[in-house]
């Protein structure tokens, strides 16, 4: 596992399929520094549709092999990749669905009316920003108009169902994840999760071939039983059995509301019922924030994105707390994985989630060592510096407040460069980059680290890359 928080690991197990090492493209490059940058991309199409994309690279070294990888680490990585996929794809799908019904179908109805009806009345607002037009349409066109309006309503219903389905999919993924986490936890500490008086049927004993099979039956029965409880009760059960402090009340409350909303959508067609309101009261919601019984719960794109973040965080933080507790000898690997995740979210542009992960690493009970704390402070400062929703003045103040968590008076060239970048101080970039390269900073770091997101816009930065590595890079788009 790479301890470098700002390094994007090219050997994640879910990366595009790796082909055997490619033939040397040019024998003259065999011993040249550029030879290690030669890759092949194979794109397969059928009937014009992309079927697969395969990238070749050097064969994985043993330390990066998925064989023998810590199962907690594998689960952590897979959960993060699933959630990144949800966060990237689901809002996009929602926008597409909205575009189809509003831009295409709705505009089609309007165009039909405008072609076949006469204007009866037109009202325009004083600022001319909005207008309302009444038309008179001949009866012979009403059948077709009603058909088109009916189609529009069908699209609107489908869009609403699609948004609901996305929320259900997120929690279905979470349920599969938490079951996997329980399997790992029970395997490590069975006495904490399975009581001594647990029983197994004679039939299972007769059918079983060995003790391991019987053990699996007991574990799966226990997991199945636990999953009948609410998601909040499952979290409380895991933390309680391991004698760990529960996540903060705000996180539990928001996570609980998402789960209860899913139940209302699944069993009540999205209409608030007494069960939902009573659950929200139990979670600590004030009466002013609890909707009335009978009102409809909507799933907006904003709510969906926020729910994705909350569900991801609940699962991710629970996993790492459990991992660190059950395998204290692997705490450093857990923290390193968290640091990598914070950086991956920065690269993807999700600064708020990245910031929450960094704050989690920096909490007072964290087993993070000084190096990982320093990395996380930089990542936390970056989560503010790269957040376009924060004003420049507020950004500078908040970045300095975060950096004040540590004494930076004695640091090496790489951290010195990092401090200048996160403060937006780019005047001395060429010299600082040279010093950092001499300390071990690589071209890959300069090209991929989120730390250099804004620095890469500077011509002096791009000139230095060309000067040191012979690579010309284009200015990134805003």
pLDDT digits 0-9 by tens, 312-361: 999 999 999 999 999 999 999 999 999 999 999 999 999 999 999 999 99
Question: Which tens digits make up the pLDDT trace of 431-470?
Answer: 999 999 999 999 999 999 999 999 999 999 999 999 999 9
How many angstroms separate the CA atoms of 275 and 264, rounded? 9
pLDDT band for 125, please (50, 70, 90 cuts). Answer: confident
Note the maximum CA span of the chain. 84
Radius of gyration, alpha carbons of the chain: 28
Q: How far is CA 413 from the centre of its chain?
A: 32
pLDDT score, position 419: 97
Task: Compute CA distances 111 → 140, 145, 155, whole Å.
Answer: 17, 11, 17
How many angstroms separate the CA atoms of 231 and 228, rounded? 9
pLDDT band for 68, please (50, 70, 90 cuts). Answer: low
How many angstroms separate the CA atoms of 436 and 415, rounded? 8
Alpha-carbon torsion 252, 250, 371, 9, what sign? positive
Residue 394 pLDDT exceeds 60: yes
Inter-residue contact 127 to 188 (CB < 8 Å): no
Which residue's entry shows tokens 């023998």? Answer: 68
- Inside any domain, residue 459: yes
- Inside any domain, residue 412: yes
Inter-residue contact 266 to 170 (CB < 8 Å): no
Q: Which of 151, 477, 178 is nearest to 314 (CA)?
A: 178
SS3 at position 352: helix
Question: Which tens digits make up the pLDDT trace of 259-284?
Answer: 999 999 999 999 999 999 999 999 99
Q: 231-241 vs 301-326: helix axis angle to the nearest 10?
A: 20
Q: 231-241 vs 249-268: helix axis angle to the nearest 10?
A: 140
- Inside any domain, residue 144: no
Q: List alpha helices for 15-140, DSSP H.
A: 71-99, 107-116
Residue 17 pLDDT exceeds 50: no
Q: For the purposes of burial, counting CB atoms within 10 Å of the CB of 193, is it exposed (0-12), middle (13-18) or buried (19 or more)?
A: buried
**How many domains in the chain?**
1
Inter-residue contact 408 to 418 (CB < 8 Å): no
SS3 at position 368: coil
Phi, psi of 246 (to 5 degrees): -70, 155
Q: How far is CA 424 from the centre of its chain?
A: 27
Q: Which of 338, 339, 342 is nearest to 353 (CA)?
A: 342
Residue 36 pLDDT exceeds 70: no
- Inside any domain, residue 121: no
pLDDT band for 11, please (50, 70, 90 cuts). Answer: very low
Q: What is the pLDDT of the chain when averaged over all its residues?
A: 83
pLDDT score, position 373: 96
Residue 27 pLDDT exceeds 50: no
Task: Show the domain range for 463.
Answer: 408-478
Question: What b/e readout covers 27-49, taking b as 16+ CB neighbours within 10 angstroms?
Answer: eeeeeeeeeeebeeeeeeeeeee
Residue 6 pLDDT exceeds 60: no
- Inside any domain, residue 423: yes
- Inside any domain, residue 467: yes
How many angstroms separate the CA atoms of 324 and 342, rounded? 18
Residue 393 pLDDT exceeds 70: yes
> pTM of the entire structure?
0.78
Cβ neighbours around 54 below 10 Å, total: 13
How many angstroms separate the CA atoms of 373 and 336, rounded? 10
- Inside any domain, residue 325: no
Q: For the purposes of burial, counting CB atoms within 10 Å of the CB of 334, is it exposed (0-12), middle (13-18) or buried (19 or more)?
A: buried
Q: Which of 74, 59, 55, 57 is nearest to 1 (CA)?
A: 74
- Inside any domain, residue 465: yes
Element spanning 341, H or E = helix 331-348
């Amino acid at each position: 596992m790479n301890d470098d928080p700002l390094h994007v690991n090219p050997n994640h197990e879910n990366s595009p399929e790796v082909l055997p090492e490619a033939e040397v493209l040019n024998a003259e490059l065999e011993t040249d520094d550029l030879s290690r940058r030669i890759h092949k991309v194979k794109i397969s199409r059928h009937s014009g549709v992309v079927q697969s994309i395969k990238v070749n690279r050097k064969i994985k070294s043993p330390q990066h092999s998925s064989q023998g990888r810590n199962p907690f680490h594998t689960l952590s990585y897979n959960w993060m990749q699933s959630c990144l996929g949800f966060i990237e794809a689901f809002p996009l799908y929602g926008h597409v669905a909205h575009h189809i019904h509003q831009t295409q179908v709705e505009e089609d109805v309007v165009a039909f009316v405008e072609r076949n009806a006469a204007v009866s009345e037109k009202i325009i607002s004083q600022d001319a920003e909005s207008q309302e037009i009444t038309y008179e349409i001949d009866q012979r066109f009403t059948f077709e108009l009603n058909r088109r309006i009916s189609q529009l309503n069908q699209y609107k219903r489908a869009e609403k169902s699609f948004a609901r389905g996305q929320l259900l999919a997120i929690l279905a993924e979470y349920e599969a994840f938490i079951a996997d986490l329980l399997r790992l936890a029970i395997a490590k500490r069975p006495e904490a999760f399975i009581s001594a008086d647990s029983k197994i049927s004679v039939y299972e004993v007769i059918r079983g071939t060995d003790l391991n099979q019987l053990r699996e039956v007991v574990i799966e029965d226990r997991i199945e039983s636990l999953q009948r409880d609410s998601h909040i009760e499952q979290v409380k059960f895991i933390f309680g059995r391991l004698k760990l402090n529960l996540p903060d009340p705000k996180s539990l409350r928001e996570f609980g509301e998402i789960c209860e909303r899913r139940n209302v959508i699944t069993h009540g067609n999205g209409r608030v019922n007494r069960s939902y309101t009573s659950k929200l009261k139990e979670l600590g919601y004030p009466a002013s924030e609890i909707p009335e019984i009978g009102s409809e719960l909507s799933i907006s794109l904003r709510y969906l994105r926020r729910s994705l973040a909350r569900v991801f965080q609940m699962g991710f933080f629970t996993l790492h707390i459990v991992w660190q507790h059950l395998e204290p000898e692997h705490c450093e690997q857990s923290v390193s994985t968290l640091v990598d995740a914070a950086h991956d979210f920065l690269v993807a542009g999700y600064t708020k989630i990245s910031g929450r992960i960094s704050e989690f690493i920096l909490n007072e009970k964290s087993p993070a060592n000084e190096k990982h704390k320093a990395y996380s402070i930089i990542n936390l400062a970056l989560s503010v510096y790269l957040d376009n929703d924060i004003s420049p003045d507020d950004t500078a103040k908040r970045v300095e407040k975060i950096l004040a968590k540590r004494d930076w008076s004695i640091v090496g060239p790489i951290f010195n460069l990092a401090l200048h970048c996160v403060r937006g101080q780019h005047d001395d970039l060429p010299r600082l980059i040279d010093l950092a390269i001499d300390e071990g900073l690589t071209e890959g770091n300069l090209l991929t680290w989120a730390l250099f997101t804004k620095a890469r816009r500077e011509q002096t930065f791009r000139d230095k890359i060309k000067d040191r590595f012979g690579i010309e890079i284009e200015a990134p788009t805003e």
